[in-house]
Structure 1
Amino acid sequence: MKIIIAGDGKVGLALTRQLLREGHELVVIDSNRSVLGRSLEQYDLLTVPGNAAALATLREAGADSAELLIAATSTDETNILCCLVAKRLNPGLHTIARVRSYEYAEQLFLMREELGLSMSVNPELAAASEIFRLLQFPSFIQRETFAKGRVEIVELRVDEGSRLCGVPLSQLNTITRVKVLVCAVTHDGAVTIPNGNYVLAAGDHIHVTAAGADLAHLLKNLGIMRRRVRQVMLVGGGRITYHLAKRLLQSGVGVKVIEIDTRRAAELAEALPAAEVALGDGSSRELLLAEGLSQADALVTLTGIDEENIVISMFGHSQHVPKIVTKINRLEYGSIFSELGVGSIVSPKELCSNDIVRYVRAMQNQMGSVLTLHSIAGGDAEALEFRVDSAVRFVGVPLRDVPLRAGVLIACITRHGKTIIPDGTSHFEKGDTVVAVTAREDAVMQMNDMFEQ
């Protein structure tokens, strides 16, 4: 598929990496020639320097023959205008605009058809929603949802002294007392797609597939159910903070925001009258303690600087804050930071690019193609959702007889609304939704890609 990406920033780069891996033809537009040069050095693509909203630039990029345009420049207005102009040039073009300003959210919802937008994405709103979900079950490091919310893959850390230590996976369900499946394990930076003989050890990060309705029972039976989050400290007063604080307050959770900028602190205090807004430097340990960090149920670090977020989160960890969520833009930090066991990591650009990639896959609508995809284990493994149709091989064959490729595991099957955590006797039926986990480097685009030829 020919895809144009307008804007070669954080979201644009994340999209470039994923879409090229899936075999799409990319053209990238940016006004900064040096930024485009960096992308040319790393990836096999075409670049066009210029204003992404200008008709001449879009013509040069081939918008008249493209199938999808993704406008992800740093300016909302440029993104909207880019989509409008490209749509006029090519009425059959699908267009996606990144729009960050919450002032535009309602207008875009009402005017999407008039503007010719296929989809709009908001990285900050997506990040706020993800953090809110993580705070609902603070024991989980990450949560990924499949099968319209019926199935989740959650990440847990096996701590020293945990009842999971020394347990073979074949015996795990005797402890959890609900049917679950460990589909990936990370230990010392290495990812394993395990079998039943794998023995859990302290320091393991396990990715567990379970029915959404069983999550609370899973935590209770493992003895790691944490108390409900009632008071949250948010460090940094950007867009994510606004969206997240609004949702937390609506759900009855107390919110304290620490913001260093006087003007922004005043804006937040006016926009969020039920929140407590403190003016000061969130990286100051003395200020954090004075504002009640030790009494908070959760700390969320949302400044614009990754290093600052990491340091503040590590201090929160030293103060035994039960739940910590850290916003990170540079993914290389994420993989290192996750090994420290400090808490959850959220990357707005990755959330945004994943939403767009899911739309691209829906456009392709191939037989047996991926419906949704989530990166797990710090990006070293993927969880993919498929629909079983007439093109899928091995329908009706017990899984123990299905020749899965190395590094692939069937994590869950959903049939007629019922969740099946599979074993060797389980099988596929036409119409099933299947979740598979793979640590393979080559992209799995269709369900048949999981099987040996």
Structure 2
Amino acid sequence: MNIVIVGAGSVGSELVEQLALEDHNIVIIDTQGEVIENLINSFDVKGICGNGASHEIMSEAEVHDSDLLIACTQNDELNILCCLLAKSFGASDTIARVRNPEYFKLFTERNINLSMMINAELEAALEISRSLRYQQAIMIEPFANGKVEIVEIKVEEKSLLDGLKLIDIPSKLGVKFLVTAVDRGDEVIIPSGYFELHSNDKIYILASSKDIFLLFKKLGIARGAKSIMIIGGSRIASYLADELSKVDIKVKIIEKDKSRCEELDEELPKAEIICGDGTNQDLLIDEGMLNCDAVVSLCPIDEQNIIISLFALSKNIGKIITKIDKPTYSKLLSASGLDSIVSLRKSTSDQIIRYVRSKQNSMGSKINRLYSILQGKAEAIEFQVNDSFKACSIPLKDLKTIQDILIGGIVRNDKLIIPGGNDTIENGDSVIIVSAVRAEQLDDLNDILE
């Protein structure tokens, strides 16, 4: 596909990397010449320095011949304008990153001529809210309209899972779930039934929400937090506090900008707003950090979030969630014991990659959901099966598939099937595939077949 990206910030740079790896023709536009230079030296892409909303720049980028224009600058108005102009130039599809909730609601209701709008801050808030349901859940991601969840946890020493072979799980635990992927050190494993779990493994469990609850109860994993401290009064914080207030979770937000505190106080009547510096450790203690079930660090600077989260870790806070946008910091945090990380660039790129693959494969199995796991080394993809799938009604034991993929779940008539050898994939099913193969190989469900 011919794709034009306007904005080479953290989100735009991530998209360039991901889409270039999938062999798309990419043009990246930004006003920062040095950033453009770095991208064209690193990837096989064309770079243009200039204003993405100008007629001259759009002509140079050949927007009229593009299959997709993605506007992901920090400015909502510019993103929307770029998309509207691109449509007038003849671009087939457009995607705008829109952060302002008023714009998002307005343009959704008015059905403006955009193919897709992305509110990365809202998606990040929902991701955090889900992970707060259980203290030890690193990540909880829904599939099949919430009927299925993939949950990431760490295997604790001497837990029921420590030393357990996957084939023995049904008899030992009596709960229907599947371990779809394992992160052991730097090794990514798509496990077979004879794989044995060890303490400190990070595992990705697929099950219904009911069975997740039953499993966690047997494992002694505590239910979610009841009191949350959020450091940083960003849009994510506002969305998150609003979401948590719906389930009567006590929220305290610490923000140093006085005018932003006043806005938050008006927007969030159920939350307690404290005007102060969230990097001040004495302030955090005075405001009750030690009595909180969870701390969520949402400052605009990654380094601030790391320092705050490490301080919370030193005080044995039950759950700590850290916003990080620089990929190089993720491994550092994980090695320090901070596993729950949220990234705006990752959540945005996952949505756009899903859209691109679905457009590219309009005749095959539709991609309903795509989620990058294991720090980008693997993916969980939900396909909607249609009659183009070549292996319908063939028992899975007879299905010849490529290496490093696992059929994690089949949803049929709103019910999850944890697949066994005699199960089949049928037209109309939703199928969840976990894959550690190169991303561009799985545009269609047929790509899992040998």
Which residue of 2 is the match for residue 268 of structure 1? 264
SS at match of 1:233: strand
Matching residue's letter, 1:20 = A
1:440 to 434, 437, 440: 437
Q: Tell whether the 8 Å contact from 2:358 to 2:443 is kept in structure 1 after alignment.
A: no
Question: 1:339/1:192 Cα in 2 relative to 1: closer, same or farther (>3 Å)?
Answer: farther
1:363 to 359, 365, 377: 359
Which residue of 1 is the match for residue 210 of structure 2? 213
SS at match of 2:308: helix
SS at match of 1:136: coil
Query: Is 1:23 aligned with 2:23?
Result: yes
SS at match of 1:217: helix
Matching residue's letter, 1:29 = I
C-alpha displacement of 1:369? 5.2
Q: Aligned equivalents of 1:343 and 1:32: distance in 2?
A: 33
Which residue of 2 is the match for residue 177 of structure 1? 174
SS at match of 1:47: strand
SS at match of 2:140: strand
Aligned-pair Cα RMSD in Å: 1.8
Deviates more, 1:407-416 or 1:333-342: 333-342
C-alpha displacement of 1:442? 5.2
Query: Is 1:322 aligned with 2:318?
Result: yes
Matching residue's letter, 1:49 = C
C-alpha displacement of 1:155? 0.5
C-alpha displacement of 1:412? 0.8
Query: Is 1:72 aligned with 2:69?
Result: no
SS at match of 1:265: helix
CA deviations on 1:241-275 (whole Å, 9 max, x unpaired) are 11111222233111111122333233323332332
Question: 1:148/1:227 Cα in 2 relative to 1: closer, same or farther (>3 Å)?
Answer: closer
Matching residue's letter, 1:56 = E
Which residue of 2 is the match for residue 285 of structure 1? 281
Q: Tell whether the 8 Å contact from 2:71 to 2:95 is kept in structure 1 after alignment.
A: yes
Query: Is 1:133 aligned with 2:125?
Result: no
Q: Tell whether the 8 Å contact from 2:366 to 2:385 is kept in structure 1 after alignment.
A: no
Which residue of 1 is the match for residue 83 of structure 2? 83
Query: Is 1:34 aligned with 2:34?
Result: yes
Question: 1:13/1:30 Cα in 2 relative to 1: closer, same or farther (>3 Å)?
Answer: same
1:382 to 357, 379, 384: 379
Deviates more, 1:230-239 or 1:400-409: 400-409
Q: Aligned equivalents of 1:356 and 1:383: distance in 2?
A: 15
Q: Tell whether the 8 Å contact from 1:55 to 1:86 is kept in structure 2 after alignment.
A: no
Q: Aligned equivalents of 1:236 and 1:52: distance in 2?
A: 31
Which residue of 2 is the match for residue 393 of structure 1? 390
Q: Tell whether the 8 Å contact from 1:71 to 1:98 is kept in structure 2 after alignment.
A: yes
Q: Tell whether the 8 Å contact from 1:157 to 1:341 is kept in structure 2 after alignment.
A: no
Which residue of 2 is the match for residue 342 of structure 1? 338
Q: Tell whether the 8 Å contact from 1:323 to 1:343 is kept in structure 2 after alignment.
A: no
Question: 1:278/1:23 Cα in 2 relative to 1: closer, same or farther (>3 Å)?
Answer: same
Matching residue's letter, 1:3 = I
Q: Tell whether the 8 Å contact from 1:177 to 1:221 is kept in structure 2 after alignment.
A: no
Question: 1:84/1:389 Cα in 2 relative to 1: closer, same or farther (>3 Å)?
Answer: closer
CA deviations on 1:91-112 (whole Å, 9 max, x unpaired) are x632111111234233222333
Q: Aligned equivalents of 2:106 and 2:418: distance in 1?
A: 43
1:309 to 300, 305, 314: 305
Query: Is 1:238 aligned with 2:234?
Result: yes
Structure 2: give runs of 5+ residues left out of the alignment. Answer: none
Q: Aligned equivalents of 2:383 and 2:264: distance in 1?
A: 43
Q: How many residues align?
A: 448
C-alpha displacement of 1:176? 3.4
SS at match of 2:63: coil
Instruction: Tell me the percent identity.
Output: 41
C-alpha displacement of 1:166? 1.0
Which residue of 2 is the match for residue 110 of structure 1? 109
Which residue of 2 is the match for residue 451 of structure 1? 449
Query: Is 1:411 aligned with 2:408?
Result: yes
- Give me the TM-score of the superposition, normalised by structure 1: 0.94
SS at match of 2:204: strand
Q: Tell whether the 8 Å contact from 2:127 to 2:141 is kept in structure 1 after alignment.
A: no
Which residue of 2 is the match for residue 124 of structure 1? 121
Matching residue's letter, 1:380 = K
Q: Tell whether the 8 Å contact from 2:183 to 2:203 is kept in structure 1 after alignment.
A: yes
Structure 1: give runs of 5+ residues left out of the alignment. Answer: none
Deviates more, 1:33-42 or 1:258-267: 258-267
Q: Aligned equivalents of 2:234 and 2:305: distance in 1?
A: 13
CA deviations on 1:344-395 (whole Å, 9 max, x unpaired) are 1110111112112222233232313543221112221111122333332333
2:255 to 256, 259, 281: 259
CA deviations on 1:166-195 (whole Å, 9 max, x unpaired) are 111111123432211101111112211111
Question: 1:431/1:111 Cα in 2 relative to 1: closer, same or farther (>3 Å)?
Answer: closer
Question: 1:180/1:172 Cα in 2 relative to 1: closer, same or farther (>3 Å)?
Answer: same
Q: Aligned equivalents of 1:400 and 1:339: distance in 2?
A: 39
Matching residue's letter, 1:34 = E
Which residue of 2 is the match for residue 49 of structure 1? 49
C-alpha displacement of 1:281? 2.2
Which residue of 2 is the match for residue 95 of structure 1? 94
- Give me the TM-score of the superposition, normalised by structure 2: 0.95
